Amino acid sequence: MLKFKVGDKVKITSGKDKGREGTIEKVFSVAGKAVLPGLNEYKKHIKPSSGKKGGIFTIPRPIVLSKLKLICPSCSKETKVGFRIAGDVKMRFCKKCGKEITHKK
């Protein structure tokens, strides 16, 4: 189980976007990376080809999960994620306030 999930609010702890906050849009569990819209972006020049328009596109580059810190939805503090087993279910919880970390879908 990963510490980060889609919809988590996180803060970047290193790199050019250090200190900025965002919400995880996509998680690549095998690569251990996440995409945060509007953060860690780079510009890509695409040449027009076979009916597609060319130009400069801004694309978010996935960020390594170790560079992210979770912001707890309950206490709004930067925190570490803990795991707790409740019956058959593994839950994530905030190590600062002890509350479960969940998102409404």
Query: Which residues of the chain form contacts with Zn ion (CB under 5 A)?
Result: 72, 74-75, 94, 96-97
Closer by beta carbon to Zn ion, 9 or else 67 = 9
Q: How far is the CB of 86 from Zn ion (least distance, A)?
A: 17
Q: How far is the CB of 35 from Zn ion (least distance, A)?
A: 24
Burial group, residue 21, by CB count within 10 angstroms (0-12, 13-18, 19+):
middle
Closer by beta carbon to Zn ion, 31 or else 97 = 97
What span, in angstroms and rounded, lies between the C-alpha atoms of 15 and 18? 5
Please give the backbone phi and psi of residue 66, each rounded to the nearest 5 degrees, phi first.
-70, -15
Closer by beta carbon to Zn ion, 63 or else 94 = 94
Q: What are the CA-CA distances from residue 105 to residues 9, 20, 44, 70, 102 (Å)?
A: 15, 24, 33, 18, 9
